[in-house]
Structure 1
Amino acid sequence: MALEWVVVGAAAGAEAVMVILLTLPVGNPLRKGLISGSRSLLKPFLSVVPFCLFLILDIYWKHDARPRCKLTGEACTAAELLRYQKAVVKSQRNGLLVGAALVFYWLLYSVTHMVARMEKLSERVEKLENQE
């Protein structure tokens, strides 16, 4: 099960790096390469979305099937209580990782299309200036 979290973490990291690179002010040839690279990565990174939805269901199932151990009511040993708390923290961490992967994909998609449109508009402005 740890491999799927490594994959989601790597995808979220790659998406974050691409968003940062797209928003940096760089030269025109490098920007065109970044735009084409991020456009080509959008389709493979789209597979992250259903994978994250599956992982959200996995988190929910583990949360629902986890034995409850509260301080009041049931008699829990210290080891059981510690195990329960670790499981809660782990599921919260995994939920944040899934959320970050989905948000970074949405940012990468939005920023890529915005930057590509800005490049097309700047090319149109240059053509109009050259015609006059």
Structure 2
Amino acid sequence: MALQWVILTYVVASEAVVALLLTLPYPKMLKRRLVSLFSLVVQPALFIVPFSGFHLLDIYWKNEHRLECTAEICTVDERDRHDKSIYKAQRNVILCVTATLLYWCIHSICKYNKKIEMLEEGEKRSKDE
């Protein structure tokens, strides 16, 4: 499971970089090329939504079936292990939600920029007539 969380971490980091690149001001030609490049990548990157969803369900299932260490017979090590697993689960939930939200942001930014481009072309055509 650790490899999947590493992959998800790298995906979130790359999505954050892409979102940053898409929101920086560039000249029109460079902006168009970046948007067209990332919009080609957005559709295959849709795998991140079910991937994150599966992991969220996995975290939920593990949380529901986790052994509670609340009795007095629990040792300090067992309580520390229990607390550590809770913190890791919370971190992983934040990671899954962030991956999905960043994907949605990138998709929305690309869609918004393409819409602006289409409106500019329509305005240009109407001026030429």
TM-score (normalised: structure 2): 0.92
- State which drifts further: 11-20 or 87-96: 11-20
Q: Are 1:22 and 1:35, in contact at CA under 8 Å, matched by a contact in 2?
A: yes
Listed as ranges, the gaps of 5+ residues in structure 2 are none
Deviation at 1:3, TM superposition (A): 1.0
What SS does structure 2 have at the residue aligned with 1:76?
Answer: coil
Q: Are 1:42 and 1:109, in contact at CA under 8 Å, matched by a contact in 2?
A: yes
What does 1:21-60 correspond to in 2, within 5 Å? 21-60=21-60
Deviation at 1:25, TM superposition (A): 1.1
Which string of whole-angstrom CA distances, capped at 9 and with x for unpartnered residues, describes residues 73-128 of structure 1? 44211000000000000000000000000100111111110011111212222333
Deviation at 1:64, TM superposition (A): 2.1
Cα RMSD for the two superposed structures: 1.4
Instruction: Give 1:104's match in structure 2, choosing from 102, 105, 115.
Output: 102
Deviation at 1:5, TM superposition (A): 0.8
Please give the alpha-carbon distance, in whole angstroms, between the structure 1 residues aligned to 2:115 and 2:39: 12
Q: Are 1:11 and 1:45, in contact at CA under 8 Å, matched by a contact in 2?
A: no
What SS does structure 2 have at the residue aligned with 1:47?
Answer: helix
Deviation at 1:45, TM superposition (A): 1.1
Name the counterpart of 1:6.
6
Listed as ranges, the gaps of 5+ residues in structure 1 are none
Please give the alpha-carbon distance, in whole angstroms, between the structure 2 residues aligned to 1:26 and 1:89: 40
Q: Are 1:49 and 1:102, in contact at CA under 8 Å, matched by a contact in 2?
A: yes
Please give the alpha-carbon distance, in whole angstroms, between the structure 2 residues aligned to 1:57 and 1:84: 19
Please give the alpha-carbon distance, in whole angstroms, between the structure 2 residues aligned to 1:32 and 1:105: 19
Q: Are 1:12 and 1:100, in contact at CA under 8 Å, matched by a contact in 2?
A: yes
Q: Are 1:48 and 1:102, in contact at CA under 8 Å, matched by a contact in 2?
A: yes
Deviation at 1:61, TM superposition (A): 2.0
TM-score (normalised: structure 1): 0.90
* Amino acid aligned to 2:32: K
Instruction: Give 2:121's match in structure 1, choosing from 102, 112, 123.
Output: 123
